[in-house]
Amino acid sequence: MPTPSSSGSVRKEVETLLKTAKSAQEFMSEMARVLHVRMLKYNWVGFYMLEGQTGGQPPVLVLGPFEGAMTPHTRIPLHQGICGAAASTGKTVIVDDVSKDPRYLACSLETKSEIVVPVFVRGKVVGELDIDSHFPAAFAQEDRELVEHCAGLVGKRLEQAPA
Ligand code: SME
């Protein structure tokens, strides 16, 4: 049975992972696992990465490493969902009650609140870290800081070497 964790101890665990992971992909998978297991209100944790920024296709967010139930939303266009809103504005989006947000794309009937934080590489959005909770208003300032820190580490890791 996992014990509730402080965001400080989880932050340290994730920073350790950054040193041990052999690839950006492995870092993202392990980060999703740690956030999912250690933060008890983080019931779905996953990455969406932006594809199609070059070439003729409109850009789309593609599901990357995740922990939790499979989602029907494996590809999300930038004009859809809370995920699309965060990627297209480059800003963190927190929704305390997803049932009241018309942008929301349902992943699970149990989801009540959501945070989506963009991942930047050299100032450009390349993807995002998306977390759903079964609890309303699960993402306070401390959570925002933790998730933004985690997304920042992924951006740094991707800057060193692509996935
Ligand atoms: N709820 C997201 C879709 C992704 S699932 O939550 C995993 C959205 O509204 O964009």
Across 87-114, average pLDDT:
97
Which amino acid belongs to residue 92?
T
Q: How far is the CA of 6 from the centre of ligand 1 (A)?
A: 25
| Residue 63: how many other CB atoms lie within 10 Å | 17
Confidence of residue 57 (pLDDT cuts 50, 70, 90): confident
**Ligand 1 neighbourhood includes 82 CB (under 6 angstroms):** yes
2 vs 81: CA distance, rounded Å: 31
Give residue 46's pLDDT: 98
Q: Does the pLDDT at position 1 exceed 60?
A: no
Residue nearest to atom 5 of ligand 1 (CA): 107
Higher pLDDT among residues 4 and 158, named by residue: 158
Question: How many angstroms is it from 46 CA to the middle of ligand 1?
Answer: 10
- Its pTM stands at 0.94
Mutational pocket test of ligand 1: of 93, 98, 130, the residue with most ligand atoms within 8 Å of the beta carbon: 130
Q: Is 42 in contact with 36 (CB distance < 8 Å)?
A: yes
149 Cβ inside 6 Å of ligand 1 = no
Q: Is the pLDDT score of 3 beyond 70?
A: no
Residue identified by tokens 């956030």 is 35
**What sign for the dihedral angle of Cα 4, 10, 16, 20?**
positive
Instruction: Assess whether pLDDT exceeds 60 at residue 156.
Output: yes
Distant-in-sequence, close-in-space partners of 46: CB < 8 Å, separation ≥ 6 = 32, 63, 64, 65, 66, 67, 68, 71, 129, 130
Q: How confident is the model at residue 52 (pLDDT cuts 50, 70, 90)?
A: confident
3-state secondary structure of 46: strand
Please identify, by atom number, the ligand 1 atom nearest to the C-alpha of residue 85: 10
- Rounded to the nearest angstrom, the distance between the alpha carbon of 106 and the centre of ligand 1 is 6
Query: What number of residues does the chain have?
Result: 163
